[in-house]
Structure 1
C-alpha cells in the first residue's frame, strides 16, 4: 500500500505549478510541505491562488536544497535550464525528483545545449532519468528516482503515432504533425505576441524552422521505430487558454494494408488497458474542450477516402496530460499507488 509522501514543488507560481498544487492537494498519498518561488517567498500560497484557501496553508519559500530537505519527492515546474542546477544535490540527499521541464528529456547533451542555448551542467544524470510517459515506460518510471516528464506537444504526437509505428504500417520517414495549442503553454511571462489584444481573433504558426519539442518527438518516435524517423512538425498558436489538438499524417507502407476497420481495431487494442488514452468510435473527432481540466488523451483514427494516408486526431489539456497531470501519473507509479489516484475526475464543461 502506498505511503504518505511529503512533497516539494519548485516553481509554484507558474501554470504547471498551480495545477500540481491543485491535483496534489486532493491526493490521499501526498502532503505538500514546501512550495518555492523567488519572487513571492514569504507570502502565503493562498494569496496567489485564493481557490486554495483552507486547502494549502503554506507560505512560498526561496528555492534551495535546505528548504526541500523534509521532502520525499520534489517536483520541478521551473523554466528550462533551471532544474539541472538543483537536481544533483537532491538526488545525493536521497530525494526523488520529477522534472516537468526539458532538462533531462533529450539523451544527447550536446543536442540539448544546441536547442536550449546553454551547456548542460549534469549530463551524467541524463541516462539516469526515466522518460515520464507511462504508456511507454511504466516499469522504468516506477523504479526511477529521476523522471523527465514529457513536453505537451510530444505527448499528443507520440501517443497518436505510437500504434502505427509499433505495427510497422507506415513510412516512418515521412510523418507530419500539425499541432495547435492554447496560450497557457507559453507560461505567465508577458510577451506581446501572447497578449489578449494580439491573440484574439487571430491564429498563427510559429517555430516552423524548428521548435524545441521537435528533437524530443523525433527521439521518442525513433525509439519506437528502432531507427531515425522523418518528421515535419509545425506548431500553431490559437486564441484559447488551454488545450492541444494534434492532426497527424502518416503514409501507409502498403496501401492494401490498414483498412479503416483494421486501423480502428489497432488503436482500440493498443490502448485498451491505458487509463488515460481514450480511442473514440470510428468517424469521431475529438475536441480540446473534451479533455480540458483532465488527464485524458482522446484520439480518433481515420483513413480519408480509403487512400494511403492515415490521419490521427489527438487532443490533450497541455497543462494536465501535457504537464502536471502526467507528472502526478508518474508520481503514482513511483509510490505504488493506483495510477488513477487524484486524476480520475472528468474535466469541466462548458
Structure 2
C-alpha cells in the first residue's frame, strides 16, 4: 500500500522520528517542532535503549518546554501498532536498521526519509565493503532516490524512500556538480576532495578516538571512507577522498581540486555556479573562502572557488554544519520538496 503525501501546502503530516536520542536526531526534532505542517507523534529509540521512557527534553535540555515527548522503544509490536497512523518517518538510526525496516514502512503507506547510509549507495555489493553488512532489501535499494536537495528535487518529490546524503558528500557534491554536470572536468583526471569535520560527526556514543580531550587534527580512513563511493556515484566522476577529524564540536569543510578541460574560461566556471545556485537560498556563493563559524548552527552551505586559467585547475571549498545541512535540515528540505513546498520552508525567514 502506498499512501501518497497530499499536494496541498496546507496538509498536516503525522510524523515519527526513529533515532531521536542522537545528535542528528535531536536537531531534526528541533526543526520539526517549528514546522507548521508537522504533527510530531512519536520519538523512538532502539529497543534496548537506556533512554526509553525518558522525556526527550531530559536528554537534550535545550528543548525543555519545546518538546517534552517521551522516548518510546522500537519493536515489531510498536511498528504494528503505530505505523499505519503515520504519514512520514525519519530514520536517524544505524545503517542496518534502515536497510531492514524502510520497506516495511513504505509498504504501510509511510514515506521514509533516511538519514543513515542504508540507501545511499546504489550497488548492493558496496555495502559489505563500506558498511560491514549485506543489504537486507535489494528492491528497496533500487527504488530509493538520493536526496541532494538543491539538485534532485524531481526524484525527491516522486519517491516514498529518500536517502538523505551524508555530511561530507553534501558539501563535496555542492562543489562538484556545477562543474561535472556542465562537462567542464577533464575525463579520468585526478579529483581530490579534502574534508574536515568536528567530533559531533562521529555520533553521540562515547568513544576514546572521538573524545574531545583526545582528538587532535588527523586524517582517517583515507582511501576507504564510506563517503568516497557516495561522492563518486553522485558526481559521476571518480574522486579521492581524504577525511580529517578536528577538535571542535560541529561544522564541516570540504575542499575540492579539479583539472578543467583546455579552453574552459573563468566566465564559464562562474556561470556554472551562478546557474546552479542563484535560485537556491540555502547555498551562499560567498566572496572569500568559507568559514565553519559562519555556518555552524545554520542550514546554509557557503561556497567559494578560485580558478587558475594557466594551469586549468579550479579549487572549490564549501562549509556546512554537519548536523544540519549535512543531516537534519537537509532531511527537512527533502520533506518540504515532497510536500510541494519551497525546500527552505521553515528553515529560514524569507
TM (norm. structure 1) is 0.91
Alignment counterpart, residue 82 of structure 1, candidates 97, 102, 114: 97
Q: How does 1:1-350 map to 2 (within 5 A)?
A: 1-2=8-9, 3-38=11-46, 39=49, 40-64=51-75, 65=79, 66-173=81-188, 174-199=190-215, 202-222=216-236, 229-254=237-262, 256-259=263-266, 261-281=267-287, 284-304=288-308, 306-344=310-348
Over aligned residues, Cα RMSD in angstroms?
Answer: 1.6
Give me the whole-angstrom Cα distance separating, in 2, the residues matched to 1:252 and 1:311.
10
Deviation of the 1:35 alpha carbon: 0.5
Partner-residue secondary structure (3-state), 2:90: strand
Give the drift of 1:230: 2.8
How far apart, CA to CA, are the structure 2 residues paired with 1:53 and 1:31? 18
Distance 2:265 2:248 in 1: 35
- Structure 1 segments unaligned to the other structure (5+ residues): 223-228
Alignment gaps of 5+ in structure 2: 1-7
- Whole-angstrom CA distance in 2 between matches of 1:288 and 1:20: 20
Match of 1:225 in 2: none
Distance 1:322 1:122 in 2: 25
Structure 2 distance, partners of 1:209, 1:270, is 29
- Helix, strand or coil at the partner of 1:81: helix
Q: Distance in 2 between matches of 1:135 and 1:184?
A: 24
Classify 1:313/1:304 alpha carbon distance in 2 versus 1 (closer, same or farther; 3 Å). same
Residue pair 1:267, 1:301 contacting (<8 A) in 2 also: no
Give a deviation string over 1:12-37, Cα, whole Å, max 9, x none: 00001000111000000011110011
Contact 2:185 2:258 in 1 (8 A): yes
Q: Counterparts of 2:132 and 2:38 in 1: how far apart (Å)?
A: 35
User: How many pairs are equivalent?
Assistant: 334
- The 8 Å contact of residues 265 and 309 in structure 2, kept in 1 or not, is answered as no
Which whole-Å deviations, capped at 9, do the CAs of 1:55-106 have from their partners, x for residues lacking one? 2231111113134442210000002211122212211111111000011111
Aligned residues of 1:8 and 1:68 also touching (Cα < 8 A): no
* Aligned match of 2:4: none
Q: Which moved more, 1:272-281 or 1:233-242?
A: 272-281
Aligned-pair CA distance for 1:217: 0.7
CA distance in 1, matches of 2:270, 2:286: 9
> Which range moves more in the overlay, 263-272 or 6-15?
263-272
TM value normalised by structure 2: 0.91
Change (3 A) 1:217 1:99: same
